[in-house]
Structure 1
């Protein structure tokens, strides 16, 4: 005897997808079919999330390809950005600056020659030795200790990521 088949499946409430190598093609474009499917999902009341290690500042490229559909969980979960609203931050889970400084000190002691970049909600900043992916004209170049310094707690832009290169 077989068990009865449910007459209807539960309705989908969420679509979550990675970007690079999943949603985005090799040329970083998104197919028309995928864009239409994302728009249809949103019209049906289904939340659309893009999940990526990319920084929030790179979401404008994704937003352009998907015509502003969805929310993006960026920087390995440190920030949620609303693509409907031009990439505004909805939520930020910052890395505490004292913790980031402890990591810098520990890595410098364990692996001399390590260089750092600091991704803030306002952009990327890096040490002179850090090999940037591209030169960001808005970046501050200084030691990690100076990049992570703040006059008083919670007075500087939140830290989203600490990147290390050895």
Structure 2
């Protein structure tokens, strides 16, 4: 397992080595366009923007929450666009509180990516460390060959029916984080 956090200084050392994929997942729950707008104004060089409302969620049914899990295969196809491999270092960051970065970290770990880190302190820490910024739109690379990314889920999920069936058991504790 990789370390959970990476400092801005450490990320600066890996920025142009080609071994790291960076995702900007800045997001505002009240203004869904703000994250993309912030990305277009400035982001870490080479970082790709992932949209928490369009790309990192599943189909909403009205009963499965604000940000339901995406379909695992659809998520794998999305990640394949970025030529990820389970071994590649992946760094995610958001505005500062790491709420969306933590969720994206979990999604990537759930899909089987092992070397996933959150930028400690997020975008603000990057700026405070003197990190350079860029405003160019980063598009996923054009695949050199037709390949299929096979995800191997590492994190377990539990269906709501299984939770409901256990709620009256004295040895069962549900923690909603």
Structure with greater Cα Rg: 1
TM-score, L = length of structure 1 = 0.30
TM-score, L = length of structure 2 = 0.28
More strand by share: 1
